Amino acid sequence: MAKDRSRYVCQACGAPHPKWQGRCDACGEWNTLAEEAPEPRPAGPAAKAGAGRRLEFVGLKGRSAPPARIATGLAELDRVLGGGFVPGSAVLVGGDPGIGKSTILLQAAARVAAGRRALYVSGEEAVEQVRLRALRLGLADSPLGLACATSLRDIAASLAQERDAALVVMDSIQTVWLDSLDSAPGTVSQVRACAAELIRLAKARGFALVLVGHVTKEGTLAGPRVLEHMVDATLYFEGDRGHQFRILRAVKNRFGATDEIGVFEMTERGLVEVPNPSALFLAERRGNVSGSAVFAGLEGTRPVLVEVQALLSPSAGGSPRRSVVGWDSGRLAMLLAVLEARCGLSLGQNDVYLNIAGGLRIAEPAADLAVAAALVSAATDRPTDPGMVYFGEVGLSGEVRQVAQAEARLREAEKLGFAAATLPRRLARGGGRAPAAPAGLTLHEIGHIADLVAPFAAAARRPREAGPEAAAPPPRGLDPPAGGGHPRAVRTAT
């Protein structure tokens, strides 16, 4: 039998290589290959195929009871998890340093410890540091079990003796190391081996395991992608450290819905739940400013209203700048091209700045219509209706397409006091049932993006049509065409 040789493993993606090289062929990263000793192979009869026990195959018909849940007492965290922690499951929590991962997990573990056995193992902080955080959060009297260790053998031996543990938090998995491996802590092989052993122990003992993971500068979880496949749920903590809002997002959940979010506010007493994030995101909105529109979005099962802000300024020369915060920059470029080609807006010579207020990141295409309204409002210097919400997907030909859960979006808008909504027009053939408008909410259905631009164009022409005495400075980039129809752009020389 050939002798096992050491291999070189990429610390960014986990791809193995037979020899060292400067660039990983799998992910393209430079100087990420590290030498690792080969993993021991099983010996004896167990290594031969067919030496294991025979599996029992069952049919698809049958009924299983829903999994039991360990409620944390934090409604927003329980919402993201699907109702609470499932015994025997593994949850991976990632986020930027200082975003609040340790804070929320300490709060959740302390609340679980009020009724069941909960353990918190820290590999990054000393016992006194964790106690100081607990004192600041008002959790010093909680019966939470606390330990600080990085050796996997010590941690596994201690957890094996805990017969009644319901929740175990490991902060963080990158600090744990196994002495049988030659690689350093935090490498691919160490993270993979330590996580696999802790997950095996959690499923054998029946306690819920929470692993805290670091993130890279690109915002993804550090270590191999296989770590995300090993766990049952993956949660990301989003937000700016200089901003008080924190968003916990589920990107994978075997026991609940994905893309569910929980909204928290960072205070001196820790993270506080935000039961109505729409009102919080719109609290500082001014409705009489151009370049602002309210988007009726959907995050998981929860409708959320957020403000979309756009700002246009003449480019000083060279390539115009496109700066986007909280939205897809590629989708903004597509929407700008549609507005220019289908509606005649001249935006190519302007710097475009787009921001989703409140720190929330929007991924669904239903935000196209709200972004378009903000851009047209900024281009014409005419504010949108402060009592209007927008949602709808925009195609390359300018058509406005239907989106899911329209009634839930409308109910959220009506609950917060909005009076009107601009949404896609229902098609006559095969369009399905029209969304039911709540009482007091007026629906404006449009089928093309030009229908959105037309009211702004009319408002921009009205001061000049009133006569010279009422003339106002013409808005940038919008003027009626000579032959009528949709507004066309006027390119002014600078």
Report which DSSP code applies to 366.
Answer: G
Beta strand 90-95 with 145-148 is unpaired
Report yes or no: 93 and 213 within 8 Å, Cβ to Cβ: yes
Whether 102 has a binding-site annotation, put simply, is yes
Cβ neighbors of 366 (< 8 A, separation 6 or more) are 295, 297, 298, 391, 392, 393, 403, 404
Give the DSSP H or E segment for 420: strand 420-424
Interatomic CA distance for residues 288 and 353, integer angstroms: 19
Residue 272 burial class via C-beta count within 10 angstroms: exposed 0-12, middle 13-18, buried 19 and up = middle
Measured in degrees and rounded to the nearest 5, phi and psi for residue 460 equal -75, -30
95 among annotated binding-site residues: yes
Enter the DSSP assignment of 470: G
Contact 193, 186 (CB under 8 A): no
Distance CA 258, CA 221 (A): 17
State yes or no: 99 annotated in a binding site.
Answer: yes
What does the alpha-carbon distance between residue 324 and residue 352 come to, in Å, rounded to a whole number? 8
Extract the tokens encoding 204.
């054998």
CA distance 220 to 150: 23
User: Which H or E run contains 110?
Assistant: helix 101-113
Q: 336 in helix, strand or coil?
A: helix
- Please indicate if the annotation marks 173 as binding a ligand: no
Is there a binding annotation on residue 203? no
Radius of gyration of the chain (CA): 28
3-state SS, residue 452: helix
End-to-end CA distance of the chain: 77
Give CA–CA dist 306/261, Å, rounded: 14
259 is in an annotated binding site: no
Contact predicate 366/391, CB 8 Å? yes
Known binding residue 61? Answer is: no
Say if residue 158 carries a ligand binding annotation.
Answer: no
DSSP string, 46-103: GGSTT-SPPP----S----PPPP-B--S-HHHHHHHTSSBPTT-EEEEEE-TTSSHHH
Is residue 12 helix, strand or coil?
coil
Within 8 A by CB and 6+ apart from 444, the residues are 388, 420, 421, 422, 423
**Is 28 within 8 Å of 60 (Cβ atoms)?**
no
- The three-class DSSP label of residue 451 is helix
Residues tagged in the binding site annotation: 95-102
Residues tagged in the binding site annotation for ATP: 95-102
